[in-house]
A and B are shown apart, each in its own frame.
Chain A
Amino acid sequence: MLRIPDLGRDFMEWFSKNLPYLLAGVSVGGQYALIAIGYTMVYGILRLINFAHGDIFMIAGLIMIYASASMPMYVSIPLVLIATVILGFLIERVAYKPLRSAPRMSVMISAIGVSYLLQNLALYITGGLAQQYPAIPWISDTIQVFGASTKRVTVITPVLTIVLVIILVALIKYTKIGMAMRAAAKDFETSQLMGIKINSVISMTFIIGSFLAAVGSLLFFTNYTGVTPTVGAMPGLKAFVAAVFGGIGSIPGAVIGAFIIGICENIIKGMGWTTFSDAFTFALLIIVLIAKPTGLFGEKATDKV
Chain B
Amino acid sequence: MSNILEVKDLNVSYGGIKAVKNISFQVPKGEVVTLIGANGAGKSSTLRSIVGLVKPASGSILLDGEEIAGKAPEQIVSKGITLVPEGRRVFADLTVLENLKIGAYMRKDSLEDDLNWCYDLFPRLKERHWQLAGTLSGGEQQMLAIARALMSRPEIIMMDEPSLGLAPIVVRGVFDIIREINRQGKTILLVEQNANMALHAANHGYVMETGRITLSGTGEELAANESVKAAYLGKQRKN
Contact = CB atoms under 8 A, between A and B. Distances in A.
A200 to B, nearest CB: 9
A187 B77 CA distance: 17
Using C-beta atoms within 8 Å of the partner chain, give the interface range for chain A: 10 to 19
A196 interface: yes
A190 B78 contact: no
Contacts of A194: 77, 102-103, 105-106, 148, 152
Dominant SS among interface residues on chain B: loop
Contacts of A193: 51, 53, 73, 77, 82-83, 85
A179 B98 contact: yes
A195 interface: yes
Nearest to B106: A195
A187 B91 CA distance: 8
B180 interface: no
Given A194-B152, A197-B74, A186 B91 contact: yes
A193 B152 CA distance: 10
A147 B125 CA distance: 59
Interface in B109-167: 148, 152
A182 interface: yes
19 contacts: A179-B94, A179-B102, A180-B102, A182-B91, A187-B89, A187-B91, A189-B53, A189-B85, A192-B52, A192-B53, A193-B77, A194-B102, A194-B103, A194-B106, A195-B73, A195-B74, A195-B78, A195-B152, A196-B105
Interface of A: 176, 179-180, 182-183, 186-187, 189-190, 192-197
Interface of B: 51-53, 72-74, 77-78, 82-83, 85, 89, 91-94, 98, 101-103, 105-106, 148, 152
Given A192-B52, A194-B148, 5 more contacts: A193-B77, A195-B73, A195-B105, A196-B102, A197-B74
